[in-house]
Amino acid sequence: MPPSAWLTPDEIPEATICLPLVIPNDEGIIAAVTGALVPLLYSSSWEQFGTVTPAAMAAAMQTMFGSLFTDNCGDFQVIERYLFAHIEAVNVNGGGIAIGNNTVPYNTVNYAESSPKVTLASNVFTVDPGRWHIEAWHLIVGGSNCRMDSQWAGTNAPANNYGMTQRNVGLRTPFQMSMEVDVTDQNTLYFNLNAQAASALLGFGERINQGGNSEAYGQVSFLRLGDLP
């Protein structure tokens, strides 16, 4: 098991080193290896020991993680990665979630490609053909009785992913969805959150009715694992 927190150093060197990982060409193994690095991207995973702050260390790790999918290290195949998120500044509300079906909003794009194979417009992703590993994380603040779905559309569209239902949830509820899909034709994808007005039981005899007074935050990571065979 990884430590509850890594210790920060006194400085982050400007010099870098490229360490290629020769990973078995299996989408599940690739996802496991890259996913193991994700905790390093968050300041909560770092404890200040040296002069570098946890926030600065997390930012450096995010740069490292991005280079994993955009930089070439010798003659190795590079995985393409695209990251989209909905984030807000302090004291700014997130994306509003009303009662019923909601297309999850995104306001931040992070990738280096000039001709990306995933694009975003009006909260809908356009995904080019290929083999993809997609991870979606969302946090609903003030929501109760919510369901998260993936919604694909287009020729030979992948199957939609249902079943991410959270009932009787509290004030902050995380949703996570992971999928490996073969996209044979260019398709569109969006993530749907269905919120209901039913009260949520917190486990302490207290009932809340947040209904549509909810906010959504989150991010989606697209890993293109290669062309289809």
CA diameter of the chain: 61
Q: Which residue in 72, 80, 23 sits closest to 221, CA to CA?
A: 80
Q: What is the overall mean pLDDT for the chain?
A: 75
**Residue 32 above 60 pLDDT?**
yes
pLDDT in tens, 110-166: 776 677 889 988 889 999 998 888 888 777 666 556 677 888 999 899 888 765 555
Second CATH level (architecture) for the domain 79-229: Sandwich (2.60)
Listed in order, strand segments (DSSP E) in the chain are 6-7, 46-47, 80-86, 95-97, 100-103, 108-110, 118-121, 124-127, 130-141, 146-153, 164-166, 172-183, 187-195, 200-201, 207-208, 214-226
pLDDT at 180 over 90: no
pLDDT confidence of residue 7: 92
Report the pLDDT value the prediction gives residue 82, as an integer from 0 to 100.
Answer: 78
Structural domain spans, the chain: 1-78, 79-229
- With 0-12 / 13-18 / 19 or more C-beta atoms within 10 angstroms meaning exposed / middle / buried, residue 40 is middle
pLDDT band at 87 (very low <50, low <70, confident <90, very high): low
Whether residue 93 is predicted with pLDDT greater than 70 in this model: the reply is: no
| Per-residue tokens: 122 | 């009006």
